């Protein structure tokens, strides 16, 4: 199997469950940005290691973002074919992020001023992921307004919580980095 198909040479892309749309349409733009988040989280995971608590959580989030991507890569008239939790974001997925945010927030002292990203590579990658999530969220708001996503879609709430979680994970990572540095 070849990686290239040439079918996108005309500026269109194929959708999940069929159909083609312009590559710069609201759906492809939103799932393309979501894919960027998956990569940024992968960079953070490479820094913290897959055998750590954070590494395991990042793998979970990367996989959940494939659910987000599947929903975004499906034309509205095919959304009924999506299986909740597998290809369609659910309210449970949104709610499941909240106790994680609460737990991690309790592990560090909240900054009292604006955060300057870059304390270490992992937290910087998480901040890149956070800002990319916010861009995806904005693109999904547009996709909802333009009818690509249904008003009942849980994609925007999921991305909203995910951005908060990325911020929380970055601050936790910075605290761990500072503690490890002060031990030396």
Which CATH number belongs to the domain containing residue 160 in this structure?
1.20.1200.10
Asked if residue 2 is part of any domain, the answer here is no
How many structural domains comprise the chain?
Answer: 1
Tens digits of residue pLDDT in 17-60? 999 999 999 999 999 999 999 999 999 999 999 899 999 999 99
Tens digits of residue pLDDT in 163-176? 999 999 999 999 87
Q: Which residue has the tokens 């980095």?
A: 177
Asked if residue 63 is part of any domain, the answer here is yes
Residue 181 has pLDDT above 80, yes or no: no
Q: pTM for the complete prediction?
A: 0.93
Residue 182 has pLDDT above 80, yes or no: no
Among 81, 84, 87, residue whose Cα is nearest residue 67: 87
Average pLDDT, the chain: 94
Mean pLDDT of 146-164: 97
Asked if residue 1 is part of any domain, the answer here is no
Tens digits of residue pLDDT in 102-142? 999 999 888 888 888 888 999 999 999 999 999 999 999 99
Q: What is the pLDDT of residue 18?
A: 94
Helix axes 91-105, 53-72, angle to 10 degrees: 150
Tens digits of residue pLDDT in 57-91? 999 999 999 999 999 999 999 999 999 999 999 99
Asked if residue 140 is part of any domain, the answer here is yes
On whether the CB atoms of residues 179 and 120 are closer than 8 A, the answer is no
Q: What are phi and psi of 20, to 5 degrees?
A: -135, 145
**How would you label 102-112 residue by residue, b for 16+ Cβ within 10 Å and e otherwise?**
eebeeebeeee
Domain membership of residue 157 as a residue range: 7-182
Asked if residue 143 is part of any domain, the answer here is yes
Residue 91 CA to residue 183 CA, distance in Å, equals: 42
Asked if residue 92 is part of any domain, the answer here is yes
Q: What is the pLDDT of residue 179?
A: 62
């Amino acid at each position: 199997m070849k990686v290239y198909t040439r079918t996108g040479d005309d500026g269109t892309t194929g959708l999940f469950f069929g159909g083609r749309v312009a590559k710069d349409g609201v759906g492809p733009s939103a799932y393309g940005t979501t894919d960027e988040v998956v990569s940024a989280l992968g960079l953070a995971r490479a820094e913290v290691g897959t055998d750590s608590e954070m590494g395991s959580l990042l793998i979970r989030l990367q996989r959940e973002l494939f659910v987000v991507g599947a929903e975004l890569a499906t034309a509205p008239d095919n959304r009924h074919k999506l299986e909740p939790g597998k290809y369609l974001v659910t309210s449970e997925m949104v709610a499941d992020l909240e106790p994680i945010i609460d737990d991690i927030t309790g592990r560090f002292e909240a900054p009292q001023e604006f955060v300057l990203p870059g304390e270490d590579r992992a937290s910087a990658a998480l901040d890149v992921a956070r800002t990319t999530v916010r861009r995806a969220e904005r693109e999904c708001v547009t996709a909802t307004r333009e009818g690509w996503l249904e008003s009942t879609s849980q994609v925007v709430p999921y991305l909203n919580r995910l951005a908060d979680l990325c911020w929380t994970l970055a601050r936790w990572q910075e605290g761990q980095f500072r503690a490890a540095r002060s031990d030396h």
